[in-house]
Structure 1
């Protein structure tokens, strides 16, 4: 909220106290603020894309390894030791839990970036 007050104060000061070109400076200040908001939103979108790429690749790898462990446990069960099959199945379940944790952290990063970008938009609307 203080950002909006500071922006309004700066616009009023340039508009009122600079005689001939105050209105132009005020409009230029408006253009600069709008441009900075556009850049901030672009950086926010880039951050979301980067977080998506950084989290999706490990998630795919973790899911693939979990699938292999569960498949190996299922294939060993009829012909092999029951404890070995249970161990491999347990490893697969543990990796699914790690998969869920990585997905949750990625989602929380997404929420954090969305909140930061949204707060910047709110401050601009209050000006």
Structure 2
């Protein structure tokens, strides 16, 4: 796993999406992390030092995994760039077929009224 700066991460994520446009998937996970070990965090809490949490973002296409760490200051800019990339590469999604509530209710009534009750 490669830990990149946010801008190169976004560039690599874009190329991952382009490579998997025809066939394949890209998984992206976001997680809160301090990037410190449990021992270091415990020492910081006993001393009363505040722990700076960051957002750890990982992306994988099954073969290659990349990651970045985003601080609170850069979060707005990163999130806007990330959203732009997602919107640009959501073209392969299928639209969901929706039924009208009225039409569905009418068809259920018609089907229910045409069926004759069976005698026992």
What TM-score comes out, normalization by structure 1 length?
A: 0.26
More helix per residue = 1
More strand per residue = 2
Structure number with larger C-alpha Rg = 1
User: Which is bigger in relative contact order (C-alpha 8 A, separation at least 6)?
Assistant: 1
